[in-house]
Amino acid sequence: MTNQPATRTVTTPPNVVDLDEVVVTGYIDNSYFDFASLFWLFNSDSYFDNMYTNIDPSTFDWILNGGNNINTSPVVSNPVTMVTVDSVVNNLVDTCLKAAFDKLTSDKLKGQLNKLYQQTFVGTGKKHNLEIIQTPHVYDPNGNEVASISHIKSGDATTWVIEMSGSLDNYPLEIFGNIISHEMVHGFLQMNDLDFTVNSAFADPHKEMLDKWICQTQELLVEAFGIPANDALALSLTGYDDVLNNSVNGSFKLNMISWINLKYSINLTQAEQVSDQYFNKLKGTVCH
């Protein structure tokens, strides 16, 4: 992703107070985004000069028209659908895995998918379904047994499949929930052909996206499992090295780690220590 903003300056729109100018800025993939995509900013952070605020949807058409109709009430555009999530299918068999899914719920996972598309613009009219299955053993491309792996469903490019290993030990439910949450981010990246780095330096657009993903996972774990926010943050942080494993390396990774260690209330070393407490069943809801 390049560090180039798309900007457009217009005079003060109606219903916006104390702004002489409005500068709309956004970072989309590795190119400028066209201003027909301003609806993306309705539900995400945007920059007005040096103010951090939100665009009022009622000004959408007004801005697109160049701010020429000051004396005319702006017309609100028809809602634009970012993504449609038709189904979240649970094909888990193991009692503990099913218990973790029951905490997450289909509705919460649908909400997570919608939020991913709202917070990181990848276009409109997308379709993204989810299927979670269980297989006796799961292996990574190098033949190592792992807890999970995920991929686009064969013959159905609209469905992301998360395969959970049936050989998992009875870890606390929070561990299973964290695995599913992070595999969903894998799916968002791959189904939308996102290269997180695009051979660039670690920069503000990366920080903004990563922060949203980390906080979104944290919030889901707090809501679904009722764990302390700092514990949820620790679990969220420890999962992102894996999520970005195939695209993050060299100075990009070092700068990302340095930023994470300064950004949050706990650093990665402390996060690993908290995560280990869950893996060792000293914390969390242990499944019997």
The string of pLDDT tens digits covering residues 129-168 is 999 999 999 998 889 999 999 999 999 999 999 999 998 8
270 plus 138 within the same structural domain: yes
User: 3-class SS at 258?
Assistant: helix
- In this structure, the answer to whether residues 225 and 94 fall within a common structural domain is yes
Q: How far lies 249's CA from each of 29, 135, 189, 242, in Å?
A: 19, 31, 17, 12
Q: Residues 22, 92: one domain?
A: no
H or E element, residue 160: strand 156-165
How do residues 40-63 score in pLDDT, each as one tens digit?
333 333 332 222 234 444 444 444
Q: How far apart are CA 143 and CA 136, in angstroms?
A: 15
Query: Is the model's pLDDT at 241 over the cut of 80?
Result: no
Could you tell me if 190 and 56 lie in one domain? no
Both 123 and 223 in one domain: the answer is: yes
Domain count, the chain: 2
Q: How many helices (H) and strands (E) does the chain have?
A: 8, 12
Residues 59 and 103 in one domain: no
For residues 157 and 214, membership in a common domain is answered with: yes
Give the residue from 64, 92, 111 where a domain finishes.
64
Together in a domain, 138 and 236: yes
Predicted TM-score (pTM) of the model is 0.73
Domain match, 89 and 49 both:
no
Helix residue ranges per DSSP H, the chain: 60-64, 95-104, 106-119, 173-191, 204-225, 229-243, 250-263, 268-279
More confident residue, 237 or 203: 237
Residue at 72 is within a domain: no
> Does any domain span residue 161?
yes
Read off the pLDDT of residues 69-117 as tens digits, 9 standing for 90 and up.
444 444 444 557 889 999 999 999 999 999 999 999 999 999 999 999 9
For residues 1 and 197, the model is more confident at 197
Instruction: Classify the C-alpha dihedral 40-44-49-55 as positive or negative.
Output: positive
In a shared domain, residues 34 and 133: no
Range of the domain at 155: 83-279
